[in-house]
Structure 1
Amino acid sequence: MRIAVIGAGALGGTFATLLSVGGHEVTVTARGAGLAAIRERGIRLEGGFGPATAHPTALERLVETPDLALVCTKAQDAEAAIAENAAVLDGAAVIVIQNGLDGVDTARRLLPRSDCFGALSIIAANHTEPGLVTVTTAAPTYLGRGSGPADAATRRWQAVLAEAVPCRAVDNFVGAQWTKLVVNMLNALPAITGLSVQGVVAHRGLRRLMTLSMREAVRVGMRRGIRFGAMQALGDRRLRAFSLLPAWAGQLLPLRMRARMGSVPNLGSTLQSVTRGQRTEVDHLNGVVVREAAAAGVPAPVNSRLTALVHEVEERGTFLSPDDVLARFSKSR
Structure 2
Amino acid sequence: MNTSSIIAPRIVIAGAGALGSALGGTLAAHGADVWLVTRNAAHCAAIAAKGLALVSPDGEIVARPNVTQSCRTIAGQPVDMIIVLCKSADTADVARDALAVAGADTVIVSFQNGLGQEVLLSEIFGAQRVIGGKTYAGGVMLAPGIVQATVAGKRSIIGEIAGGLSPRCLDLARQLSAHGVPCEASDNMSGAIWDKLLINVATGALTALTRMTYGEIYADRDLARAAFAAVAEAMNVAEAKGIALSIRTPEEAWAMAGANLPEDFRTSMLQTLEKGRRSEIDFINGAVVRAGEALGVETPVNRLLAACIHGVENSAAFTTIDCPSGERQ
Same fold (TM over 0.5): yes
Deviation at 1:255, TM superposition (A): 5.7
Count matched residues: 301
In the TM superposition, what are the counterparts of 1:74-153 in structure 2 within 5 Å? 74-89=87-102, 91=104, 92-112=106-126, 115-136=129-150, 138=152, 139-153=154-168
Say if 1:136 and 1:70 are closer, same or farther in 2 by CA, change over 3 A: closer
Which one of the candidate residues 182, 188, 191 is aligned to 1:166?
182
Kindly state the Cα deviation for residue 13 of structure 1 after the two structures are TM-superposed: 0.6
Residue 11 of structure 2 corresponds to residue 3 of structure 1: yes
CA–CA distance in structure 2, aligned partners of residues 172 and 134 of structure 1 = 31
Aligned residue number for residue 182 of structure 1: 198
Alignment of 1:6-85 (within 5 A): 6-31=14-39, 32-48=41-57, 50-62=59-71, 63=75, 64-85=77-98
One-letter amino acid of the structure 1 residue matched with residue 292 of structure 2: A
* One-letter amino acid matched to 1:276: K
Kindly tell me: are residues 90 and 280 of structure 1, through their superposed partners in 2, closer, same or farther at Cα, counting changes over 3 Å? Answer: farther
State the match for 1:328 in structure 2.
none
Q: Conserved in 1, the CA contact under 8 Å of 2:214 and 2:262? A: no
- 1:135 and 1:100 mapped to 2: Cα distance? 21
Contact 1:128 1:272 in 2 (8 A): no
User: Which consecutive residues of structure 1, in runs of 5 or more, have no partner in the other structure?
Assistant: 243-249, 320-333
Would you say the 8 A contact 2:19–2:140 is kept in 1? no
Q: Which residue does the alignment assign to 1:292?
A: 291
- Give the alignment's Cα RMSD to 1 decimal: 2.2
Q: CA deviation at 1:147?
A: 4.7
* Contact preservation (8 Å) 1:44, 1:53: yes
Q: What does 1:208-287 align with in structure 2 at a 5 Å threshold?
A: 208-228=225-245, 230=246, 234=247, 238=248, 242=249, 252-253=251-252, 256-257=255-256, 260-261=259-260, 263-287=262-286
* TM-score, normalised with respect to structure 2: 0.84
Question: What CA distance in whole angstroms lies between the structure 1 residues aligned with 2:57 and 2:88?
Answer: 24
Q: 8 Å contact 2:289–2:299 — kept in the other structure?
A: yes
What do the CA deviations read for 1:56-108 (whole angstroms, capped 9, x no partner)?
A: 22222112321221112122222220022224325322122111121222222
Task: Measure, in 2, the Cα distance between the counterparts of 1:293 and 1:254.
Answer: 19
1:288 positional shift: 0.5
Change (3 A) 1:120 1:286: same
Q: Distance in 2 between matches of 1:177 and 1:205?
A: 27
Alignment CA distance shift 1:215-1:140 (3 Å):
same
- What residue ranges of structure 2 are gaps of 5+ in the alignment? 1-8, 319-329
1:331 corresponds to = none
Per-residue CA deviation, residues 113-169 of structure 1 (Å, 9 max, x unaligned), is 752222211112212322211124641111112253321111011011111111111
Query: Per-residue deviation at 1:37?
Result: 2.0
What SS is found at the alignment partner of 1:195?
A: coil
Q: Deviations over 1:15-61 (max 9, x none)?
A: 21122122222211112222222222221111156532222222221
Q: Residues 200, 56 of structure 1: CA spacing in aligned structure 2 closer, same or farther, 3 A cutoff? A: same
What letter is aligned with 1:72? L
* Identical positions, percent: 30
Contact 2:213 2:263 in 1 (8 A): no
What letter matches 1:288 in structure 2? A
Report how far residue 254 of structure 1 moved: 5.8
SS in 1 for 2:49: helix
CA contact (8 A) 1:145 1:173 kept: yes
CA contact (8 A) 1:136 1:264 kept: no
Note the C-alpha offset of 1:219. 0.6
SS in structure 1 opposite 2:298?
coil
Counterpart CA distance in 2 for 1:173 and 1:317 is 40
